[in-house]
Amino acid sequence: MTNFPQIGPGWTLFLDRDGVINKRIFDNYVLEWSAFHFTEGLLEHAQQIGSAFERIIVVTNQQCIAKGLLRQEDLDVIHQHMCDQLQKAGLYIDHVFVATEFKNGLPPRRKPQPQMALEAKEMFPSIDFSKSVMVGDTNTDIQFGQRLGMYTVLVESKELVKESPDLRIAHLAHLSQYL
């Protein structure tokens, strides 16, 4: 039994990147396109997921920029390749929001802070957080969605998550079963 809603017109899907769209590299970062690998079944189910939502937004914390491990331009190239491949498979990403700050302290753009979602709503005023789904694989992803009144979906991994999402799945591709 789940608390997952009936998705219809006007719904927005918010997606974390690492561990949701691509395989997460624990204790490291995706620093080049060749290290980016889509999660199991995502490209095969992209059309079904993409067609269910009016808008799809990626919200990702990438402190590798603040650490100097990757330049913003190189991250943009990775994201462009990601968006291109997903679009070819039938899932169009409307925008990618990135928090590049260190996670220490309370940086305003990093999840679980709501800033990236507020920026998305400013860019796309039709977004209604009560008709939005946040899919992530960490506590901060679930907290981000809950703070904004979104439905939350946890992609389970070896990450220890204490938050209680509305739905738990093994891979983003499995979301298609609920659409």
pLDDT per position as a tens digit, 94-134? 999 999 988 887 788 999 999 999 999 999 999 999 999 99
- In Å, how far from its chain's centre is CA 37? 15
**pLDDT of res. 145:** 98
The first and second tokens of residue 148, run together, are 């904004």
Task: Give pTM, 2 decimals.
Answer: 0.96
Query: β-strands 95-99, 132-136: how paired?
Result: unpaired
Assess if residue 50 is contained within a domain.
Answer: yes
**pLDDT of res. 47:** 97
57: confidence class by pLDDT, cuts 50, 70, 90: very high
**How many domains are contained in the chain?**
1
pLDDT at residue 169 above 70? yes
pLDDT at residue 154 above 70? yes
3-state secondary structure of 122: helix
Tell me the β-bridge partners of 61: 99
Judge whether 108 and 125 are in contact, CB under 8 Å.
no
Please tell me the total number of residues recorded for the chain in this structure: 179
Chain segment 25-38, per-residue pLDDT in tens: 998 999 999 999 99
Rg for the chain, CA atoms, rounded: 15
Catalytically annotated residues: 16, 18
Assess if residue 5 is contained within a domain.
Answer: no
Average model confidence (pLDDT) for the chain?
95
Quote the DSSP letter at residue 18: B
Q: Is the dihedral of CA 65, 68, 73, 79 positive or negative?
A: negative
Assess if residue 2 is contained within a domain.
Answer: no
Assess if residue 1 is contained within a domain.
Answer: no
The enclosing domain of 106 has a CATH number of 3.40.50.1000
**pLDDT of res. 1:** 42
Nearest alpha carbon to residue 71 among 117, 22, 29, 120: 29
Assess if residue 6 is contained within a domain.
Answer: no
Assess if residue 3 is contained within a domain.
Answer: no
Q: How many H-runs (helices) and E-runs (strands) does the chain carry? A: 4, 6
Q: Structural domain of residue 148, as residue ranges? A: 12-178
Q: Measure the CA–CA gap between 111 and 10, rounded to whole angstroms.
A: 24
Assess if residue 167 is contained within a domain.
Answer: yes
CA distances from 107 to 30, 40, 95, 115 (A): 22, 32, 21, 10
Judge whether 120 and 90 are in contact, CB under 8 Å.
no
Assess if residue 4 is contained within a domain.
Answer: no
Chain segment 71-82, per-residue pLDDT in tens: 999 999 999 999
